Structure 1
Amino acid sequence: MNVISTHIGQPVSRIDGVAKVTGQAKYAAEPHPPGMLYGVVVNSPIARGRIETIHDAEARQIPGVIEIMTHLNRPHAALFEKSYMDGLGVPGAPYRPLHDGEIHFNGQPVAVVFAETFEAAREAAMLVRVDYERWPHNANFEVALHQKYMPSKTRSNYVPPKPRGDAAAAYALSAVKTEGRYHLAPEHHNPMEMHATTVIVEDDGTFTVWDKTQGPQAVQAYLASALSLSKDQVRVRNPYVGGAFGSGLRAVYNVFLATLAAKMLKRAVRVTLTRPQMFTHAFRPEAVMDIALGASRDGTLQSMIVKGVTDTSRFEHNMENIVIWGLINYRCPNATADYKVAPRDTYTSSDMRAPGAATGVNLLEMAIDEMAYACGMDPLAFRLHNYSDIDAMHDMPLTSKALRDAMAQGAQHFGWHDRSMIPGSMRDGRELVGWGMATGIWDAMFSPTSARARLGQDGRLHIATAASDIGTGTYTILAQTAAEAFGMPLDRIDIELGDSALPECPTEGGSWTAASAGAAVWLACHSLRTKLFAALARCKNAPSWARQDSVKLEGGALHGMNENAQDSLSLSDALSLTGQDVLEAEETAKPGLRGKISQMRKARFTHSAVFCEVRVDPELGTVRVTRLVNAVAAGRIMNPKTAASQIRGAMVMATGMALHEDSLMDERVGQFMNHNFAEYHIPAHADIPDMDVLFVNEHDDEVSPLGVKGVGEIGMCGTAAAIANAIFHATGRRERNLPITLGA
């Protein structure tokens, strides 16, 4: 858009920051309705089998215990008798909490204790004993690989790779070849706020559900379907979310159990998961990728063969786009890919920040680095040599791609030209120094979204949409958008989010909220301006200058355009003149330039170039990441301060992927063993260096109505690979398994 930005593009601090640091922001486990019961979940310690007997008599004797809900006494619900969709579209048979006595995974809820106090519920939960008939199970990924398959029905967001040329024949004839198996360990999301639900039974019998979710309307639809309720009977709220990273894309079992109990007991109920219970549902799937690359002696890629496998449960077929990224991003005449899933007796693996790409891009970029060295080329030069200006997999033009600029600016900022090509040749005292790089790519998505803008007698502008702010800064960028569109100071704008009763907005995920909700707010504000001007034009009591087409809205007031006049009118007075107490407009934003879809089908991506410095102690084998630079091409940046924060947060997570995070399975019982922050290692302050984020100028008026691409996930794509590649440069030893740990 050709406008001069006074608010959009400015590094505004988070408008919700004060509420969060002072405790005014309320999360899912914080409402305290009168008479509320506390629920504590009892989980299965086995991976597969059947419940024989539940011994709960002793637990029921604990003072304050009201009920212990199991599959034997829970009320009937529609969820138990028919298939349902829970908002994520994973094929198979979704898990149904307390459906029957069959055990599908370790950690499956088998009972929920409800009591007047949390302490009583927890004590009683520890006294519930369950006898099981144990069935054979497999939780070993290597064993599951022998049972890999392609589901007959795939996830809606899975796009089968489109092969080109004859990759096998080209590989056989290539002068330079590399091949290897690359592995990523499973990871758990571990946001600070654990999953919790507080259900309030209103006087009219409806339910207000406070839930830790990324999509209140998705949870509303899930509960309405599962419990035979109309959408008017259940309202879901999540105004603040303490991180999610994909763990809140699906309805987690606590929300169903809490709402079912509230309906049964006719009392307010809260169910909060413990940190160990956070390891009983969502996690990034374990993955292997077999990658074979062929090139000519001058470093031109001739063949790419990528085969990937990720794990899933036995009852659902979770899939991710892990094998497509190299076929999209690199010019190569012969390329093919294959993807399958491997079943284990665990809960279904799930989306985690940059699902598919965080796995596929990082493992592929490690293989690309290997090929660059095999060709005797600088890794940056090799990537530039094989650069594709189009989506090479689909032979499709792009709305924009400033990756070449990102690589150039990132390299200059990092000082890449001072790098020695020879691995192990750079030192600082006793430490080996390594410099590595990788590129990143992520979808630039847009989803139809609605927003409402309302002007009240107090002269304040109220913006409402059901979008969630999971820590990404959505409150702030929507306020900036409204301020720009309506000519209103930021401190006179109120933003309402996280409520299923608000205008429709898709679940927050995929980095589409800034583009989608931002466009909806922009349209709603402009529609409201039009309504206000039209109402004034019809108002005989309004000043003549205020009834002209040339009136200007700026600084929260109407101004005449005559340069010699000092005419102005506050918005409160303007609204009073129209005889209305409130004026509002609601609009829906759709993909394309101002809602118009381009006549030519084009691919849409965000790109990045990541540069990393590591220092390795050659005797101890310890690795320190000492510098990270990420140059990002993401269209129009709404707020460089919050956007850079998103990139840095993703880079921290990617550092965990590269060096720390590994959900360790006890295969004997099918349980993730390190289910706490003492043993599940995430990066601490000492592990994270100064991180520089550069935003490359990238004009794109086709990707979304405001030219915006999301940035929440691109920071995951390529960062772990850059770290792994830097370790190779430091040591000369190529590690193909993430995380890279002591003894690797």
Structure 2
Amino acid sequence: MNDTNYIGKATSRVDGPAKVTGAAKYAAEFNVPNLAYGYVVSSPIAKGKITKIDAAEVLALPGVLQVFSHENVPTLALLDRSYKDDIAPGGSPFRPLHSAEVKFSQQPVALVVADTFELARYAASILKIEYEQAGHETDIETKRTQGFEPGTGKTGFVPPPPPRGQADQEFERATHRVDQEYVHGTQHHNPMEMFASTVEYHEGGKLTVYDKTQGAPNSQRYIRQIFGLSKDEARVISRYTGGGFGSGLRPQYQLFMAVLAALELRHSVRVSLTRQQMFSIGHRPHTLQTVKLGTNPDGSLASLHHHALHETSRFEDYTENVVNWSGMLYQCANVKLGYQLAKLDVYSPQDMRAPGAATGSIALEIAMDELAYAAGLDPLELRLRSYADRDQNLDKPFSSKKLRECYHEGAAKFGWEKRNPAPRATRRGNMLVGWGMASGVWDASQQKAAAKVSLSADGKLTVQSATNEIGTGTYTIMTQVAAEYLGLPLEAVDFQLGDTNFPPAPVQGGSWTAASVGTAVKEACEALGEKLLKLAQKMEGSPLADAKFEDVEFVNGQLRLRLDHNQAVVIRDIVQASGETKLEADATAAPDLAKQKQYSLHAHNAVFVEVEVDEDLGTVHVTRVVNAVAAGRIMNPKTARSQVLGSVVWGISAALMEETVMDHKFGRYVNHNYAEYHIPVNADIHDIDVVFVEEEDDIVNPLGVKGIGEVGMLGVAAAVANAIFHATGKRVRELPIMLDKLL
């Protein structure tokens, strides 16, 4: 029995004190010597070209160092190189300041660099730029008949599987049918920390870049390709990220501009985006979906159609796996899935928490609720009658699936059996009360990652990996893994991340960090453990002289025999006896593809929601949520619960509040600020219960962990919409559901 057991225990964040005391530094908080400031000038038009830039007045201001634009940048940077970041979509990536062409509203068209931020901002406001405006198209509604199938797509895009069975014929023969369109508008990530890059210039042209990103190695590869720099010349650091939600997966344009200015001016430079400019770096795309469902006489699914059309830019083919989940989540022999893109004069959309699945599940799960009412079945019973024990898209078994347990445990916690099925049947005073539910499925992925461990003679362990911390608990989880596998107290472990000088790791996204980096940390610790055993066996009178590695364990700072705990050596003594100041080991972990390709790897959840709707005012209050999640081994119930709480809040936000409004006359988002882009406040959020369903899986990765931050969001928005129908009898198929749609 391992007495030093940390994995699976609720553990407070090891980085918590640094965050609450201000010791944690973010990209715009590194005050390097001799720092200049850049301010981005954004285009006021959505399409056209720049005809004239007059920088004379700006350059005459004392303290202004330079104005960068398409007129001088091409001679300074290798913009004609073919370059892409790790997760770039297909097509031609946007190249800031590359030409006079304007492709979207708020496109960066110039950078003013000055001695102070205030001067740079003022100088940018008086920079004279003239434009020739062209006709633009930003309304996806005009593209309903002009969509086209995606080409190369984005990394990770899986085209919808071919149709199976006879979906059209079986729909016509179905006992009960639903055929509806579902819409959600554009949403923006809006993390609290805005994008910024602080570039420290060193003699000889070397750079240290402090970047707001979800992947320091990805930012490094991006600037190395563009500017022809070596790894040694472009070190990127990102210790903390103040929210990303996918917006930091791709390097944003302030990184290019800051590096460009630093290299040209041979000067340290910081470039920060404003809140308004944060609306010019990508978004969850406006999407139109059609879902057609039909039942057999017994209420099981007979036919399923799901088609999606969403926007992308003119220059990239950003794509999402929107409809694929529908062919997997429920058992159905007759399925037809379709997906198209609409090219518009907007910046490329980008991944936003649970990309594709969050969009697709809303349409599918509202349609399933409609089908339940049409068939006269409880919404939970309808889902159970079409429960899928196998992934029909891939024709493979699931490595593990506890969705049925999510249904049962979530329903029991919520009290679902007490539900009156009739809409408008339950009241609390002037409030109409409704209950709704929905399901979700998300990939359980592992990526290639590396880690290094170093044990000093005083028993302190340093663990390093270039992964990021976007608030998910990475510092804490990796500390727990290292402490567990080397039997050390948590306070003896120092996990370091976010530095390209550390072993490489993938971007932090897709809910794969715990599985990917955690496995690398585990294997690095085991490699160090083998070194420790060999050294322990050389010690005089060693009780472990004849032991094999599988015969020993690391517990409470000791290396001991599993079957005789009295036969032990103190780990610190092993290092000291070796004569070394420290012992090191590293490991690179990759998924076991030969094993995994035989299975479908996914996490699942079931969400139950209660709402109160004011009958007179149409206001909606989400009063109760139960989210039951099956995500393999839960590494830390405390941080995992926090992830699900955040996911639920975002689901409520998507259902009731979040909407980026486009004025198509100007091709510009008009509510590009925190005042008018509505997100929940504390008063909007009430009781949220998180249930972790026990699930063991030795196929997904050696730790048996599945991602949790994204699956926890799925089903929430649909469950809210379904609860609103149960409360009011009014079905709303366009999100967000604001009071004007209910009155």
Determine whether 1:545 maps to 2:543. Answer: yes
Q: Distance in 2 between matches of 1:344 and 1:155?
A: 17
Q: Counterpart of 1:171?
A: 171
Cα deviations across residues 486-537 of structure 1 (Å, max 9, x unaligned)?
Answer: 0000000000101111111111100000111111111110110101111232
Question: Which residue does the alignment assign to 2:587?
Answer: 587
Query: What displacement does 1:77 show?
Result: 5.2
- In the other structure, the counterpart of 1:405 is 405
Shift in Å at residue 80 of structure 1? 1.9
Question: 1:83 is aligned with what amino acid?
Answer: S
Tell me the CA shift for residue 577 of structure 1. 1.0
TM-score by length of 2: 0.97
Structure 1 residues 5 and 369: CA distance shift in structure 2, 3 A: farther
Aligned to 1:464: 464
Q: Where does residue 700 of structure 1 map in the other structure?
A: 697
| 1:554 lines up with 2:559 in the alignment | no
When the two structures are aligned, how many residues end up with a matched partner? 737
Matched, 1:206 2:206: yes
My pick for the range that moved more, 350-359 or 545-554, is 545-554
Residue pair 1:455, 1:462 contacting (<8 A) in 2 also: yes
2:250 partner letter: R
Query: Residues 252-283 of structure 1: CA distance to partner in whole angstroms, max 9, x if unpaired?
Result: 00000000110000010000001001001110
CA-to-partner distance for each residue in 1:438-484, whole Å, 9 max, x for gaps? 00111111111111111112310111111101000000000000111
Q: Structure 2 counterpart of 1:545, which letter?
A: P
Matched, 1:569 2:603: no
Query: d(CA) in 1 for partners of 2:195 and 2:552?
Result: 50
Structure 1: distance between partners of 2:328 and 2:466? 33
CA contact (8 A) 1:431 1:615 kept: yes
CA shift for structure 1 position 547: 3.9
SS of match in other structure, 2:73: coil
Structure 2: which amino acid aligns with 1:25? A
Secondary structure (helix, strand or coil) at the match of 2:712 reads helix
For 1:134 and 1:567, the matched residues in 2 are separated by 78
Q: Distance in 1 between matches of 2:149 and 2:568?
A: 69
Q: Of 630, 637, 646, which residue of structure 1 is paired with 2:634?
A: 637
CA shift in 2, pair 1:457/1:618, >3 Å: same
Residues 244-263 of structure 1: pairs in structure 2 closer than 5 A: 244-263=244-263
Residue aligned with 1:544, SS: coil
Which residue matches 2:44? Answer: 45
Distance 2:538 2:56 in 1: 74
**In 2 relative to 1, CA 513–126 (structure 1 residues): closer, same or farther, beyond 3 Å?**
same
* Correspondence for 1:348: 348
Q: Which residue of 2 aligns with 1:119?
A: 118
Letter in 2 for 1:557: Q
Q: Which of the numbers 717, 722, 729 marks the counterpart of 1:720?
A: 717
Alpha carbons 2:287, 2:309 under 8 Å: kept? yes
Partner of 1:235: 235
Q: Which amino acid is 1:569 matched to?
A: V
Aligned-partner SS, 1:351: coil
Describe the SS at the equivalent of 2:642.
Answer: helix
What is the aligned partner in structure 2 of residue 27 from structure 1? 26
CA contact (8 A) 1:298 1:375 kept: no
Closer, same or farther: CA 567–94 of 1 in aligned 2, 3 Å = closer
Query: Alpha carbons of 1:244 and 1:564: their partners in 2 closer, same or farther (altered >3 Å)?
Result: closer
Query: Which residue number corresponds to residue 740 of structure 1?
Result: 737
What does residue 453 of structure 2 align with?
453
Q: Which moved more, 1:437-446 or 1:150-159?
A: 150-159
Equivalent residues of 1:297, 1:375 under 8 A apart: no
Residue 675 of structure 2 corresponds to residue 674 of structure 1? no
Alpha-carbon separation, structure 2, partners of 1:404 and 1:567:
45
Q: Which runs of 5+ in 1 are unaligned?
A: none
Matches within 5 A, 1:423-462: 423-462=423-462
What is the distance in 2 between the residues matched to 1:222 and 1:630?
A: 39
Check the 8 A contact 1:78/1:225 in 2, yes or no.
no
- 1:70 aligns with 69
Q: Which residue of 2 aligns with 1:664?
A: 661
Preserved CA contact (<8 Å) 2:444 2:511: yes
AA in 1 matched with 2:557? G
Please give the residue correspondences for 1:480-629 in structure 2 after superposition, counting only pairs within 5 Å: 480-539=480-539, 542-545=540-543, 547-549=545-547, 552-558=553-559, 568-571=569-572, 573-592=573-592, 597-598=594-595, 601-629=598-626
Q: Matches of 1:244 and 1:289 in 2, distance apart?
A: 27
Amino acid at match of 2:140: F
TM-score (norm 1): 0.97
Q: 5 Å matches for 1:306-321? A: 306-321=306-321
CA deviation after TM superposition for structure 1 residue 551, in Å = 5.9
Counterparts of 2:439 and 2:622, CA distance in 1: 18
Residue of structure 1 equivalent to 2:133: 134
Output one character per residue of 1:362-393: Cα deviation in whole Å (capped at 9) or x when no partner: 22101111111110000001001110011122
Tell me what 1:653 maps to.
Answer: 650
* 2:54 paired with 1:18: no
Does structure 1 retain, via aligned residues, the 8 Å contact 2:42–2:106?
yes
Q: Tell me which residue corresponds to 1:421.
A: 421
Whether the 8 Å CA contact 2:451–2:517 is kept in 1: the answer is: yes
TM-aligned CA deviation for residue 3 of structure 1:
7.5
In 1, the alpha carbon distance for the partners of 2:565 and 2:172 equals: 79
Instruction: State the partner residue of 1:106.
Output: 105
Deviation string, structure 1 residues 573-626 (Cα, Å, up to 9, x no partner): 32121121121111112224xxx7427610011000000000001111110000
Counterpart amino acid of residue 7 in structure 1: Y
Q: Which residue of 2 aligns with 1:690?
A: 687
Q: Which residue of 2 aligns with 1:389?
A: 389
- Alpha-carbon displacement from aligned partner over 1:288-346 (angstroms, at most 9, x marks no partner): 11111111233121100111011000111110000111110111110010100011101
Query: Among the aligned pairs, what percent are the same residue?
Result: 48
1:87, 1:79 → 2: CA distance? Answer: 19
* Separation of aligned partners in 2, 1:562 and 1:621: 67
Equivalents in 1 of 2:165, 2:567: separation in Å? 70
* Code of the aligned partner of 2:312: T
Cα distance change, pair 599–403 in 1 and its aligned pair in 2 (3 A): closer
Output the amino acid matched with 2:203: D
**Aligned residue type for 2:555:** E
SS in 1 for 2:466: coil
| Paired letter, 1:544 | S
TM-align CA RMSD = 1.7
Question: Which amino acid in the other structure matches residue 269 of structure 1?
Answer: V
- Give the SS at the match of 2:634: coil
- Given that 2:596 and 2:699 are in contact with CA atoms closer than 8 Å, whether structure 1 keeps it comes out as no
What is the letter of the counterpart of residue 604 of structure 1? Answer: L
Amino acid at match of 2:70: H
- Mark the CA change 1:230 to 1:120 in structure 2 (over 3 Å): closer, same or farther: same
Structure-2 separation of matches of 1:498 and 1:108: 29
Corresponding position: 1:196 with 2:193 = no
Q: Look up the SS of the partner of 2:543 in the other structure.
A: helix
Contact 1:625-1:687 within 8 A present in 2 as well = yes
Q: State how far apart, in whole Å, the 2-side matches of 1:393 and 1:112 are.
A: 48
User: Map of 1:323-338 to 2, 5 A cutoff?
Assistant: 323-338=323-338
CA drift of 1:204 comes to: 3.9
Deviates more, 1:490-499 or 1:455-464: 455-464
Query: Cα offset for 1:96?
Result: 0.2
Contact 1:635–1:700, Cα closer than 8 Å, also in 2: yes
Q: 2 CA distance for matches of 1:297 and 1:616?
A: 34
Q: CA deviation at 1:570?
A: 4.9
Distance 2:564 2:439 in 1: 52
> Is the CA contact (8 Å cut-off) linking 2:605 and 2:711 kept in structure 1?
yes
For 2:212, the aligned partner's letter is: K
